Structure 1
Amino acid sequence: MATSMDFLSTSIFIPLFLLLLVNIYHQSQKYGRKTKTYHPCGGTKFNQLINYRTLHDYNTNLATIHKTYRVFNPFCGEIYTSDPSIVEYILKTNFKNYGKGAHINNILKDLFGDGIFTVDGDEWREQRKNLVMVSKASKA
Protein backbone atom coordinates (compact mmCIF):
# COMPACT_ATOMS: atom_id res chain seq x y z
CA MET A 1 0.00 0.00 0.00
CA ALA A 2 2.88 2.39 0.76
CA THR A 3 4.39 1.89 -2.67
CA SER A 4 1.11 2.70 -4.40
CA MET A 5 0.85 5.97 -2.41
CA ASP A 6 4.40 6.92 -3.35
CA PHE A 7 3.66 6.24 -6.98
CA LEU A 8 0.40 8.23 -6.80
CA SER A 9 2.04 11.22 -5.10
CA THR A 10 4.96 11.33 -7.54
CA SER A 11 2.71 10.88 -10.57
CA ILE A 12 0.61 13.89 -9.50
CA PHE A 13 3.55 15.94 -8.24
CA ILE A 14 5.56 15.87 -11.48
CA PRO A 15 2.77 17.18 -13.79
CA LEU A 16 1.81 19.86 -11.26
CA PHE A 17 5.43 20.91 -10.95
CA LEU A 18 5.79 21.08 -14.75
CA LEU A 19 2.54 23.06 -15.00
CA LEU A 20 3.88 25.50 -12.41
CA LEU A 21 7.13 25.93 -14.37
CA VAL A 22 5.23 26.56 -17.60
CA ASN A 23 3.05 29.12 -15.84
CA ILE A 24 6.06 30.93 -14.36
CA TYR A 25 7.77 30.98 -17.75
CA HIS A 26 4.62 32.30 -19.45
CA GLN A 27 4.22 35.07 -16.85
CA SER A 28 7.85 36.11 -17.19
CA GLN A 29 7.48 36.29 -20.97
CA LYS A 30 4.22 38.19 -20.69
CA TYR A 31 5.27 40.72 -18.05
CA GLY A 32 9.03 40.66 -18.45
CA ARG A 33 8.96 42.60 -21.71
CA LYS A 34 8.56 46.31 -21.56
CA THR A 35 5.55 47.07 -23.67
CA LYS A 36 5.39 50.74 -22.76
CA THR A 37 8.16 53.27 -22.74
CA TYR A 38 7.82 56.25 -20.48
CA HIS A 39 9.34 59.68 -20.76
CA PRO A 40 12.13 60.41 -18.28
CA CYS A 41 11.27 61.80 -14.88
CA GLY A 42 12.00 65.52 -14.57
CA GLY A 43 11.18 65.68 -10.88
CA THR A 44 8.17 66.19 -8.66
CA LYS A 45 5.86 69.04 -7.77
CA PHE A 46 7.95 69.39 -4.62
CA ASN A 47 11.00 70.14 -6.79
CA GLN A 48 9.01 72.84 -8.50
CA LEU A 49 7.93 74.28 -5.15
CA ILE A 50 11.54 74.31 -3.95
CA ASN A 51 12.55 76.17 -7.13
CA TYR A 52 9.48 78.43 -7.11
CA ARG A 53 11.44 81.70 -7.34
CA THR A 54 13.29 80.46 -10.42
CA LEU A 55 10.58 78.14 -11.76
CA HIS A 56 10.88 79.39 -15.33
CA ASP A 57 14.63 78.76 -15.35
CA TYR A 58 14.14 75.39 -13.65
CA ASN A 59 11.61 74.20 -16.28
CA THR A 60 13.71 75.66 -19.12
CA ASN A 61 16.72 73.73 -17.88
CA LEU A 62 14.68 70.51 -17.76
CA ALA A 63 13.40 71.19 -21.30
CA THR A 64 16.94 71.56 -22.62
CA ILE A 65 17.93 68.24 -21.03
CA HIS A 66 14.76 66.35 -22.07
CA LYS A 67 12.43 67.48 -24.87
CA THR A 68 9.59 65.65 -23.11
CA TYR A 69 9.58 64.72 -19.42
CA ARG A 70 7.26 63.75 -16.59
CA VAL A 71 6.65 65.62 -13.36
CA PHE A 72 5.10 63.60 -10.56
CA ASN A 73 2.33 65.08 -8.48
CA PRO A 74 0.84 63.43 -5.37
CA PHE A 75 -2.53 63.22 -7.15
CA CYS A 76 -1.66 62.81 -10.85
CA GLY A 77 1.25 62.88 -13.26
CA GLU A 78 2.00 65.66 -15.69
CA ILE A 79 3.89 65.55 -18.96
CA TYR A 80 5.78 68.59 -20.21
CA THR A 81 7.06 68.86 -23.76
CA SER A 82 8.98 71.32 -25.88
CA ASP A 83 9.11 69.04 -28.92
CA PRO A 84 7.32 70.81 -31.82
CA SER A 85 6.19 67.55 -33.42
CA ILE A 86 4.47 66.43 -30.21
CA VAL A 87 2.84 69.83 -29.75
CA GLU A 88 1.53 69.68 -33.33
CA TYR A 89 0.27 66.14 -32.76
CA ILE A 90 -1.64 67.16 -29.63
CA LEU A 91 -3.04 70.48 -30.88
CA LYS A 92 -3.68 69.65 -34.53
CA THR A 93 -3.38 66.05 -35.64
CA ASN A 94 -5.05 64.25 -32.73
CA PHE A 95 -6.77 67.07 -30.84
CA LYS A 96 -9.94 65.11 -30.04
CA ASN A 97 -8.04 62.64 -27.84
CA TYR A 98 -6.53 65.35 -25.63
CA GLY A 99 -9.46 66.95 -23.84
CA LYS A 100 -9.10 69.38 -21.00
CA GLY A 101 -11.38 67.48 -18.64
CA ALA A 102 -13.37 68.50 -15.59
CA HIS A 103 -10.29 69.32 -13.50
CA ILE A 104 -9.02 72.03 -15.86
CA ASN A 105 -12.58 73.25 -16.43
CA ASN A 106 -13.08 73.74 -12.67
CA ILE A 107 -9.78 75.60 -12.33
CA LEU A 108 -10.21 77.96 -15.30
CA LYS A 109 -14.00 78.44 -15.24
CA ASP A 110 -13.85 81.43 -12.86
CA LEU A 111 -11.35 83.20 -15.11
CA PHE A 112 -12.54 82.25 -18.61
CA GLY A 113 -16.16 81.14 -18.03
CA ASP A 114 -17.44 78.59 -20.54
CA GLY A 115 -15.18 79.84 -23.32
CA ILE A 116 -12.94 78.06 -25.77
CA PHE A 117 -10.17 77.58 -23.19
CA THR A 118 -12.32 75.61 -20.73
CA VAL A 119 -14.71 73.41 -22.73
CA ASP A 120 -14.33 70.20 -24.74
CA GLY A 121 -16.14 68.38 -27.50
CA ASP A 122 -19.19 69.93 -29.13
CA GLU A 123 -19.07 73.03 -26.92
CA TRP A 124 -15.46 73.63 -27.99
CA ARG A 125 -16.39 73.13 -31.66
CA GLU A 126 -19.19 75.71 -31.34
CA GLN A 127 -16.82 78.21 -29.66
CA ARG A 128 -14.26 77.61 -32.42
CA LYS A 129 -16.85 78.29 -35.14
CA ASN A 130 -17.87 81.53 -33.42
CA LEU A 131 -14.24 82.60 -33.11
CA VAL A 132 -13.57 81.94 -36.81
CA MET A 133 -16.71 83.86 -37.81
CA VAL A 134 -15.73 86.85 -35.67
CA SER A 135 -12.21 86.75 -37.08
CA LYS A 136 -13.47 86.74 -40.68
CA ALA A 137 -15.93 89.56 -39.94
CA SER A 138 -13.21 91.73 -38.40
CA LYS A 139 -10.96 91.28 -41.48
CA ALA A 140 -13.71 92.35 -43.86
Structure 2
Amino acid sequence: MALVEAAMAAHQGKALIFGNIRYAPKDDSTVKAAMHVSYEKYQELGLAEYGTAHVMQFWREYHLTKFEGWAYENEARLAINAPPDEQCFVPFGQALRHVLIGEGAAAEEIAEIERLAAAHGVQVSGVRWRNGMPVRVPTKLLPR
Protein backbone atom coordinates (compact mmCIF):
# COMPACT_ATOMS: atom_id res chain seq x y z
CA MET A 1 0.00 0.00 0.00
CA ALA A 2 2.97 2.34 0.39
CA LEU A 3 3.28 2.56 -3.41
CA VAL A 4 -0.40 3.48 -3.82
CA GLU A 5 -0.09 6.13 -1.09
CA ALA A 6 3.01 7.58 -2.78
CA ALA A 7 1.21 7.68 -6.15
CA MET A 8 -1.83 9.37 -4.61
CA ALA A 9 0.35 12.01 -2.93
CA ALA A 10 2.37 12.69 -6.09
CA HIS A 11 -0.61 12.82 -8.44
CA GLN A 12 -3.47 14.38 -6.50
CA GLY A 13 -6.55 14.97 -8.59
CA LYS A 14 -5.72 12.26 -11.13
CA ALA A 15 -7.55 8.97 -11.37
CA LEU A 16 -5.51 6.05 -10.06
CA ILE A 17 -6.25 2.44 -10.89
CA PHE A 18 -4.76 -0.20 -8.63
CA GLY A 19 -5.57 -3.87 -8.23
CA ASN A 20 -4.68 -7.47 -8.77
CA ILE A 21 -4.72 -8.68 -12.34
CA ARG A 22 -7.60 -10.94 -13.35
CA TYR A 23 -6.42 -13.74 -15.63
CA ALA A 24 -9.14 -14.48 -18.19
CA PRO A 25 -9.53 -17.29 -20.72
CA LYS A 26 -9.21 -16.24 -24.37
CA ASP A 27 -12.93 -16.73 -24.93
CA ASP A 28 -13.96 -14.51 -21.98
CA SER A 29 -17.15 -12.65 -22.96
CA THR A 30 -16.33 -9.50 -20.97
CA VAL A 31 -12.92 -9.16 -22.65
CA LYS A 32 -14.59 -9.64 -26.03
CA ALA A 33 -17.19 -6.96 -25.19
CA ALA A 34 -14.42 -4.52 -24.24
CA MET A 35 -12.85 -4.96 -27.67
CA HIS A 36 -16.15 -4.40 -29.51
CA VAL A 37 -16.80 -0.88 -30.79
CA SER A 38 -20.41 0.01 -31.54
CA TYR A 39 -20.24 2.03 -34.74
CA GLU A 40 -23.82 3.24 -34.24
CA LYS A 41 -23.05 4.57 -30.73
CA TYR A 42 -19.79 6.09 -32.00
CA GLN A 43 -21.70 7.93 -34.74
CA GLU A 44 -24.35 9.07 -32.27
CA LEU A 45 -22.02 10.32 -29.51
CA GLY A 46 -18.83 11.27 -31.35
CA LEU A 47 -15.33 10.00 -30.67
CA ALA A 48 -14.57 11.78 -27.37
CA GLU A 49 -17.87 11.02 -25.64
CA TYR A 50 -18.10 7.45 -26.94
CA GLY A 51 -14.46 6.72 -26.11
CA THR A 52 -14.80 8.07 -22.58
CA ALA A 53 -17.99 6.10 -21.92
CA HIS A 54 -16.48 2.90 -23.35
CA VAL A 55 -13.29 3.15 -21.29
CA MET A 56 -15.30 3.95 -18.13
CA GLN A 57 -17.40 0.83 -18.71
CA PHE A 58 -14.45 -1.48 -19.42
CA TRP A 59 -11.57 0.01 -17.41
CA ARG A 60 -11.01 -3.26 -15.51
CA GLU A 61 -10.59 -5.18 -18.76
CA TYR A 62 -8.18 -2.59 -20.20
CA HIS A 63 -6.05 -2.06 -17.10
CA LEU A 64 -6.46 -5.10 -14.85
CA THR A 65 -6.99 -8.09 -17.15
CA LYS A 66 -4.52 -10.39 -18.91
CA PHE A 67 -4.98 -13.75 -20.54
CA GLU A 68 -4.69 -16.77 -18.25
CA GLY A 69 -1.38 -17.87 -19.79
CA TRP A 70 0.22 -15.08 -17.73
CA ALA A 71 -1.29 -16.23 -14.42
CA TYR A 72 2.09 -17.43 -13.11
CA GLU A 73 3.07 -13.74 -12.75
CA ASN A 74 0.53 -13.14 -9.95
CA GLU A 75 0.69 -9.46 -10.91
CA ALA A 76 -0.83 -6.32 -9.43
CA ARG A 77 -0.87 -3.11 -11.42
CA LEU A 78 -0.92 0.63 -10.74
CA ALA A 79 -2.00 3.03 -13.49
CA ILE A 80 -2.27 6.82 -13.40
CA ASN A 81 -4.71 8.56 -15.74
CA ALA A 82 -2.79 11.53 -17.15
CA PRO A 83 -2.37 13.23 -20.53
CA PRO A 84 -0.15 11.20 -22.91
CA ASP A 85 2.64 13.79 -22.92
CA GLU A 86 2.83 14.10 -19.12
CA GLN A 87 5.52 12.15 -17.28
CA CYS A 88 4.16 10.43 -14.18
CA PHE A 89 6.98 9.60 -11.79
CA VAL A 90 6.04 8.03 -8.47
CA PRO A 91 8.65 8.48 -5.73
CA PHE A 92 8.38 4.93 -4.44
CA GLY A 93 10.59 5.49 -1.38
CA GLN A 94 10.00 2.73 1.16
CA ALA A 95 7.51 0.93 -1.13
CA LEU A 96 10.35 -0.87 -2.95
CA ARG A 97 11.40 -3.84 -0.85
CA HIS A 98 12.82 -6.40 -3.28
CA VAL A 99 14.24 -6.43 -6.82
CA LEU A 100 14.12 -9.61 -8.92
CA ILE A 101 16.66 -9.88 -11.74
CA GLY A 102 16.05 -12.15 -14.71
CA GLU A 103 18.54 -14.43 -16.42
CA GLY A 104 19.27 -11.98 -19.24
CA ALA A 105 20.97 -9.34 -17.07
CA ALA A 106 24.67 -8.63 -17.66
CA ALA A 107 27.16 -8.94 -14.81
CA GLU A 108 27.69 -5.15 -14.77
CA GLU A 109 23.94 -4.54 -14.53
CA ILE A 110 23.58 -7.00 -11.67
CA ALA A 111 26.47 -5.39 -9.78
CA GLU A 112 24.99 -1.89 -10.23
CA ILE A 113 21.51 -3.00 -9.13
CA GLU A 114 22.99 -4.69 -6.06
CA ARG A 115 25.01 -1.56 -5.22
CA LEU A 116 22.02 0.76 -5.52
CA ALA A 117 19.72 -1.61 -3.65
CA ALA A 118 22.16 -2.03 -0.76
CA ALA A 119 22.37 1.76 -0.37
CA HIS A 120 18.59 1.83 0.20
CA GLY A 121 18.11 -1.37 2.21
CA VAL A 122 16.43 -3.21 -0.67
CA GLN A 123 16.87 -6.96 -1.15
CA VAL A 124 17.98 -8.39 -4.50
CA SER A 125 17.47 -11.89 -5.87
CA GLY A 126 17.73 -13.59 -9.21
CA VAL A 127 14.97 -15.46 -10.98
CA ARG A 128 15.57 -18.65 -12.92
CA TRP A 129 13.06 -20.84 -14.67
CA ARG A 130 12.72 -24.43 -13.49
CA ASN A 131 10.09 -26.74 -14.94
CA GLY A 132 8.19 -23.79 -16.40
CA MET A 133 8.02 -21.88 -13.11
CA PRO A 134 10.03 -18.88 -11.85
CA VAL A 135 12.24 -19.66 -8.85
CA ARG A 136 14.01 -17.06 -6.71
CA VAL A 137 17.77 -17.70 -6.40
CA PRO A 138 20.81 -15.77 -5.12
CA THR A 139 22.14 -13.48 -7.87
CA LYS A 140 25.44 -15.36 -7.87
CA LEU A 141 23.55 -18.26 -9.49
CA LEU A 142 22.46 -16.18 -12.50
CA PRO A 143 24.30 -16.87 -15.76
CA ARG A 144 26.82 -14.13 -16.48
TM-score range, shorter chain: under 0.3
In the superposition, the TM-score normalised over structure 2's length comes to: 0.26
TM-score w.r.t. length of structure 1: 0.27
Q: Of the two, which has the highest radius of gyration?
A: 1
The structure that is helix-richer by fraction is 1
